[in-house]
Structure formats: structure tokens, C-alpha cells
Chains A and B, each alone.
Chain A
């Protein structure tokens, strides 16, 4: 089955991203396809490479980046939500006159149309949020 996942909450404050990660991992292990993972609202905070959790805690961002690399996942941060929350890739940083970018490896920034397309192209769209 082909899935798109939508993640509406940031890391650590809320378990939505953890649950979505476990879901994605389990689905991939069972041979399902993850068409896209779309991060919205505070969910875009899952895509900053500056995250530095304590060593005995899980690194939520790194975990997503690694899963993306292993399975060629499409991790998309909503551009409007990312701009509001200070998440930028090199292009976004330049366009908005910022002195740095902070997007984590494996993530990209795009529009809400990517979420709708995920719903159209996938057998199931699963929302992880509050």
C-alpha cells in the first residue's frame, strides 16, 4: 500500500513525530511504500539540523534523515509554516536575507500542494497530530 504521512506537531513536545516515524519504519519493513511525509504547523521543527538532544535521548531529526537516506523518502516541510518558524534551506535563507540555513539532510521545503498531491497519489493519508 502507498502512504502519505502528515505530521502536525514539533519534536519532543509531542509524540506525533515519534509515532509517525515508528509507523513509517514498520510500513517500510512490511514492504509498503511511503510516497511522502509532509510536515505542517509546528511539525516543520522536525526538520532543523541544529537540534541537539541529550545523548541518552533519541535524536528525532537525525532519525528521520537516516530513514530518508535508507529508503529514499520524500520529507517535505511546508514553506509557509517553515518561514514563520525560522526553518530555511539555502535558497530560502538567501531569498529572505537570512545569514544562515538550518534544514536537516533529507528534508526539502515546498508548498501545501505537495500535501494535496500526497492525498491524491496515495492509498492512505495518515495524519499524526493533536
Chain B
């Protein structure tokens, strides 16, 4: 494809409770076929989407967290996590199921500035 755009997906909500996280991931997977320059940001309660050891069985909700590990196969490799959001929830990088880059709010702002398309979920 000739014109590659920078797509950023901003994930701000917990994985369960609302459908946003799951349906954001669906857009990322479908979007991968378009071979754009993709990055994902996890901030606010969105950092919980990447938490290790999720068990949603008692709530009858699908635990889709293993899918984040498959993103690499879709060439989606830029995963950014808001450091302040992670720390505010008592989590560290070691609590996450995938390798990420921790970013400050200022750094995330700069990354957003570089994007052509920002999809917020």
C-alpha cells in the first residue's frame, strides 16, 4: 500500500464491565490486514487489559487477554503503557502479559501528536 498512515489505538477502559476493550482489539486485528503503522496505548483502567492471571470464568465473560500475546504475529509491536496509570494501580511491568514500553504522560502526548489517526476506546 502506497500511503501508510500512523494509527494509534488508545485503550482507556477495564477489560470487563464494558465491551470497549474487546471490540478495540477486534479493530486492531482487522486493521492489521491494512499494513499501517500501528501502535497501542494503554492508560487509566486500560492498563488492566494487559494484567497477568486474568480469570473471568465466574462472570461468564470471555477472557481475551491471551490475544494480546498474538499481536506480535500481526506485526503490532508498539505497545505503550502509561507509567502513571500503572503505578496508580499498584502494578509494575512484571505484572503484564506482554512486553511493553512505559511512557510518561508527556511522552504519550508527543506520540499522539505524531499520529495520523487516533482511535479512542
Listed in ascending order, the chain A residues whose CB lies under 8 Å from chain B are 6, 8, 40-41, 80-81, 111-113, 115-117, 119-120, 125, 127, 129-130
Please name 26 pairs of A and B residues whose Cβ atoms are closer than 8 Å in the assembled complex, sorted by A: A8-B20, A40-B27, A41-B19, A41-B23, A112-B26, A112-B27, A112-B30, A112-B31, A113-B31, A113-B34, A116-B7, A116-B34, A116-B36, A117-B34, A119-B5, A119-B7, A119-B36, A119-B117, A120-B5, A120-B34, A120-B36, A120-B117, A125-B118, A125-B119, A127-B119, A129-B120
Give the 3 A-B CB pairs with smallest separation, nearest first: A119-B117, A112-B30, A116-B31
- Chain B at the A interface: SS class: mixed
Listed in ascending order, the chain B residues whose CB lies under 8 Å from chain A are 3, 5, 7, 19-20, 23, 26-27, 30-31, 33-34, 36, 116-121
The answer to whether A127 touches B120 (Cβ under 8 A) is yes
The answer to whether B34 touches A40 (Cβ under 8 A) is no
The answer to whether A116 touches B26 (Cβ under 8 A) is no
CB-based nearest B residue for A117: B34
Expressed in whole angstroms, the minimum distance between the Cβ of A39 and any Cβ of chain B is 12
Given A120-B5, A127-B118, A130-B20, list of 7 further CB < 8 A pairs?
A8-B121, A41-B20, A80-B26, A120-B3, A120-B36, A125-B118, A129-B120
CB-based nearest B residue for A119: B117
The answer to whether B30 touches A116 (Cβ under 8 A) is yes
Contacts of B31 in A (CB 8 A): 112-113, 115-116
The answer to whether A119 touches B119 (Cβ under 8 A) is yes
With A6-B119, A41-B20, A125-B117 known as contacts, the answer to whether A115 contacts B27 (CB < 8 A) is: yes
* Interchain CA distance A30-B19 in the complex, whole Å: 35
Contacts of B5 in A (CB 8 A): 119-120
The answer to whether A113 touches B30 (Cβ under 8 A) is yes
Contacts of B118 in A (CB 8 A): 125, 127
The answer to whether B30 touches A40 (Cβ under 8 A) is no
* Interchain CA distance A130-B19 in the complex, whole Å: 12
